[in-house]
Amino acid sequence: MATTSSPVDTGLVGFLFAIGVGLALLFKSVVIIRPFEKGIVERFGKYDRVLGAGFTFILPFIESVYKVDMREAVIDVPAQEVITKDNVNIGIDAVVYFKVVDPFKVMYNVAMFDEAVGKLAQTNLRNIIGGVTLDETLASRDRINVDLRKILGEITDRWGVSVTRVEIQDIKPPQDIVDAMSRQMKAERTKRAAILEAEGFKNAEVLRAEGKKAAEILDAEGKANAMKTLAEAERRKKMLIAEGDASAIERVFSAMHEGKPTKDILTLKYLETLGKMAEGQATKIFMPFEAGGVLSGAAMIGDMLKEGGNIKSKMISEGPGERSSLENAGDSVSDEKQRGKRRDEQSGG
């Protein structure tokens, strides 16, 4: 007995199928673009538009969406062997940081962008290292990074990509070069240590000499100041003594002239002065020219004193018009001198 489906069952199945197809079409037409992405919409295989971040509807089976990551990314450039300008074979690798700035260009102007940038970095790195020596390569990494980024930037601009940074990761010279560099570094450090030690010894000697010089200068200045002070004190002492002597002489001179001394008194003072002169330790005494007459007068006075003590009374009794006994004694002394002179001439003849 044959069974037939009821119209209700057929309609239910069709309704469910329609709902399923509608849900599938709805799911297919909904596109969610994340904040760091851009969406490239193609309609029937042709570029149509760019979608921004958010919830978007497209025509299912007619339009398709390709998402492009706009965040900065890194590409590891594989290590390679390169030859420097001075023919040293070294191993070198690098990393490239880039960022997509135009999703249309990166989608349609280049295929396999990561591989293209890696190969491009390798070839240009060989060219740059081949133009510099090993020492320049080791000492000028920043310059090499800048040159490589500039070259990559000029090429990747038409790909819609901006190369933000290039960094050389590692440079590996041959082992014999590494050993030679180690010995060179050790010798350089030894040389530098010897130079620093010599400079330290030199500076110490210079400082020691300067200190000694400064001490001698200060000592000499102290002695000079002391001598100057002593000389000034001695000068002041002599000036004070001279001023005192001058004042004393002036007073004596004034007293002598005011007292009107006689020749006898002057003769006695002369003799007292000669006595003080003879008290010194000198073996020779220079007598003034007038000393002979004074001594002769003194001798006559001594003879007269020996003859008697009446000379003083005789000198008092004599009148003012007569010659004094002292004058007579002086004449006698003069005659005695003349007679002695004649005797000397006769004995010499």
Over the stretch 131-143, which tens digit does the pLDDT of each residue have?
Answer: 899 888 888 888 9
pLDDT band at 263; cut points 50, 70, 90 = low
**Left if phi > 0, otherwise alpha if psi is -120 to 50, otherwise beta: which for 112?**
left
What's the average model confidence in pLDDT over 82-98? 91
pLDDT tops 80 at residue 288: no
What's the average model confidence in pLDDT over 98-103? 92
The CB density around residue 113, as the number of other CB atoms within 10 Å, is 19
pTM value? 0.50
Rg (CA), the chain: 68
Backbone angles phi, psi at 43, to 5 degrees: -115, 115
pLDDT tops 60 at residue 301: no
Q: What percentage of the chain reaches a pLDDT higher than 90?
A: 17
User: In the chain, what are the helix, strand and coil shares in percent, each to the nearest 5?
Assistant: 65, 20, 20
Contacts of 18 (CB under 8 A, 6+ apart): none
**Least confident stretch, 51-60, 216-225, 266-275, 316-325:** 316-325
**Least confident stretch, 263-277, 283-297, 315-329:** 315-329
What's the average model confidence in pLDDT over 95-120? 90
pLDDT tops 80 at residue 280: no
Greatest mean pLDDT among 22-31, 266-275, 307-316, 332-341? 22-31
Greatest mean pLDDT among 99-103, 272-276, 336-340? 99-103
* Separation between Cα atoms, residue 158 and residue 310, nearest integer Å: 157
DSSP of 301-320, one letter per residue? HHHHHHH-TTHHHHHHHS-T
What's the average model confidence in pLDDT over 315-336? 46
Greatest mean pLDDT among 114-128, 169-183, 297-311? 114-128
The string over 265-282, giving b where at least 16 C-beta atoms fall within 10 Å of a residue's C-beta and e elsewhere, is eebeebeeebeeeeeeee
* Separation between Cα atoms, residue 70 and residue 54, nearest integer Å: 15
What's the average model confidence in pLDDT over 43-62? 88
Task: State residue 323's pLDDT score.
Answer: 43
Task: State residue 25's pLDDT score.
Answer: 78
Task: State residue 1's pLDDT score.
Answer: 43
pLDDT band at 16; cut points 50, 70, 90 = confident
What's the average model confidence in pLDDT over 239-259? 78
Q: What percentage of the chain reaches a pLDDT higher than 70?
A: 70
The average confidence (pLDDT) of the chain is 78
Eight-class DSSP state of 63: E
Over the stretch 164-218, which tens digit does the pLDDT of each residue have?
Answer: 999 998 888 888 888 888 888 888 888 889 898 898 888 998 998 988 888 889 8
Task: State residue 104's pLDDT score.
Answer: 92
Task: State residue 101's pLDDT score.
Answer: 92
